[in-house]
Structure 1
Amino acid sequence: MIAAAALIAAAPAVLALDGTPGQGAALTGSVPPGTTLQLDGQPVAVAADGRFLIAFDRDAGPAATLLATLPDGQRIVRPLSVAPRAWRIERLPTLPRISQPSAEFRRRRAPELAQIEAARDMATDAQGWRQRFVWPVRGRISGLFGSQRIYAGEPGAYHSGVDVARPTGTPVAAPADGVVILAAAAPFTLEGNLLMIDHGMGLNSAFLHLSRIDVKPGDQVRQGQVVGAIGATGRATGPHLHWGMKWHDARIDPLLLAGPMTP
């Protein structure tokens, strides 16, 4: 517990935020260079110029706290109100959840999850987090982030990304600069051909169900560069791109970063 006397209210010029905290949202901010920062007690990386990024999980609570320690030792607190969202919930009272996974699925799944976690643990010097994100592909949005089904009263996993339906072979572009941290050598059981790009500061994108991947781990990619193509590999009912994003452990909504899709 930090003594109240050790804290002062955050002046906008000292601890500034660009954007509004909300469930599934990411926003940038700035502090004086050399400041250390914590969000609810967890360290937040601060760039040399004082810029930083924070984000909130789909199920984030209503309040959070930023704590900045300035180079002179002064500590500044910034209480945050995290806006709730109304998720699309579909109730299926007579339909049970899918059966338990097979032994073969569990055997394959463990090393796949290990690859994904190892990729997300990588830290790169990518600067894409500073950019305004663009849509990797444009088309009909067929699945919204955060939507969820309730099977006979039992909640299923919520949808962790945005789905865009387009034909197989449609090019997929990098939504921001980054470094490739995973390019599946073979289709994963659920994700199919999986590509992951780190945008820096703990922010990464995952592209699922691709028909092909055009880059390899370690490649630096630029915003707008074609990195693969839409497919229906893995567990998919038809060709589409599933674009998921995480900031450390927080799952966030790509639509909030890329903005509404315009024709």
Structure 2
Amino acid sequence: MSPRRRDLLVGSAALLAAGPASARIPDLELTGRFVQGGHAIGRTWPNALVFVDGEALSAASDAGWFVVGFDRDAPASVEIEVRSDRRSARRTLAIAGGSFRTTRIDGLPPSTVEPTDPALLERIRREVVLKTEGFASRTAADHFRDGFDWPLASYRITSPWGAQRVLNGTPARPHYGIDLAAPQGTPVLAPAAGRVALAEPDLHFEGGLVLLDHGQGLITAYLHQSRLDVRAGQEVVRGQALGRVGMSGRATGPHLCWRMKWRDRNLDPSLLVKS
């Protein structure tokens, strides 16, 4: 074999070896559910800064994955931009509007709708601080990238996400959760891996509450549990038991209220469930 042909073959082999590796990381790839309450899962350069409508809100993981959430009242379009060194890429997404029904719940104890007792109000203020700290958790993980499972093996949806609530005849804020009815004691399972950001067994409104951090400010919440099987700071894997279905807190029957937040935005967790 001539030296020139040998050099060409070696060069071609090097290109073939390097090509697929470099092609794995796109400038900006976005998939997901581009609707109010939905999300975008992105892939870009490792550790790139992520801007949403011009505001730096997050950073991609070491593998280049990131998530962006769209609130219930998200505008009709959202611009997502990534920046790394002197490189940048951006896309503008059209966000479809949601259709949110009204649900009414009667028979709740007045203290869970419009509390007035000073001692109870002080307790609620202390619990707000705990929940705020839990939702502020920011791990660098990207456990969201493979989608979620439902947190119960069997359930019946009794209240959809985003519904306008009327409690004891009084209009309340929208319901930022999905109510999944199931028998008392049904295991509540982690829909994806994460770190427990909060585990409180007896909050006034939420009852037994677990917050699970899936990375980059994407937090899921599990309300009204009768028993908790995890502790704050614990790492959990997909399918691990977080606790048991109950009716603690503001609840009229055994069910799990499943919620999701990305930073200060309320998201529909069912939209991340793998089909």
Q: Say yes or no: does 1:212 pair with 2:227.
A: yes
Richer in helix (by share): 2
Q: Say yes or no: does 1:117 pair with 2:132.
A: yes
Tell me how far 1:33 sits from its aligned partner: 3.0
Tell me the TM-score normalised to structure 1 length: 0.84
- Which range is displaced more, 228-237 or 21-30? 21-30
SS of equivalent to 1:157:
strand
Would the alpha carbon gap of residues 212 and 34 (structure 1) be closer, same or farther in structure 2, given more than 3 Å must change?
Answer: closer
Would the alpha carbon gap of residues 173 and 150 (structure 1) be closer, same or farther in structure 2, given more than 3 Å must change?
Answer: closer
CA distance in structure 2 between the aligned counterparts of 1:259 and 1:146, rounded to whole angstroms: 20
CA distance in structure 2 between the aligned counterparts of 1:232 and 1:46, rounded to whole angstroms: 38
Task: State, as a whole percentage, how many aligned pairs show the same letter.
Answer: 38
SS of equivalent to 1:19:
strand
* Alignment check: 8 A CA contact 2:144 2:192 kept: yes
CA distance in structure 1 between the aligned counterparts of 2:113 and 2:142, rounded to whole angstroms: 42
Residue identity in the other structure for 1:253: D
Residue identity in the other structure for 1:142: T
Unaligned runs of 5+ in 1: 1-11
2:102 corresponds in structure 1 to 89
Output aligned runs, 1:225-244, within 5 Å. Answer: 225-244=240-259
Q: Say yes or no: does 1:26 pair with 2:60.
A: no
Tell me how far 1:251 sits from its aligned partner: 0.6
Tell me how far 1:119 sits from its aligned partner: 1.1
Q: Deviations over 1:22-64 (max 9, x none)?
A: 1111221111335322012132221122211111111111121
Q: Deviations over 1:66-122 (max 9, x none)?
A: 122243x24333222111111113589xxxx99742133311111101001111222
Q: Deviations over 1:137-183 (max 9, x none)?
A: 021111111001368x9842111111111111111110100111111
Output aligned runs, 1:28-177, within 5 Å. Answer: 28-40=41-53, 41-71=55-85, 73-90=86-103, 100-102=114-116, 103-137=118-152, 138-149=154-165, 155-177=171-193
The higher radius of gyration belongs to 2
* Alignment check: 8 A CA contact 2:261 2:267 kept: yes
CA distance in structure 1 between the aligned counterparts of 2:273 and 2:237, rounded to whole angstroms: 16
SS of equivalent to 1:76:
strand
Find the partner of 2:209 among 165, 179, 194: 194
- TM-align CA RMSD: 2.5
CA distance in structure 1 between the aligned counterparts of 2:63 and 2:174, rounded to whole angstroms: 37
- Which range is displaced more, 76-85 or 121-130? 121-130
1:7 corresponds in structure 2 to none
- Which range is displaced more, 23-32 or 110-119? 23-32
CA distance in structure 1 between the aligned counterparts of 2:72 and 2:195, rounded to whole angstroms: 25
Tell me the TM-score normalised to structure 2 length: 0.81
1:8 corresponds in structure 2 to none
CA distance in structure 2 between the aligned counterparts of 1:43 and 1:23, rounded to whole angstroms: 18
Aligned pair count? 243
Would the alpha carbon gap of residues 34 and 191 (structure 1) be closer, same or farther in structure 2, given more than 3 Å must change?
Answer: closer
* Alignment check: 8 A CA contact 1:215 1:227 kept: yes
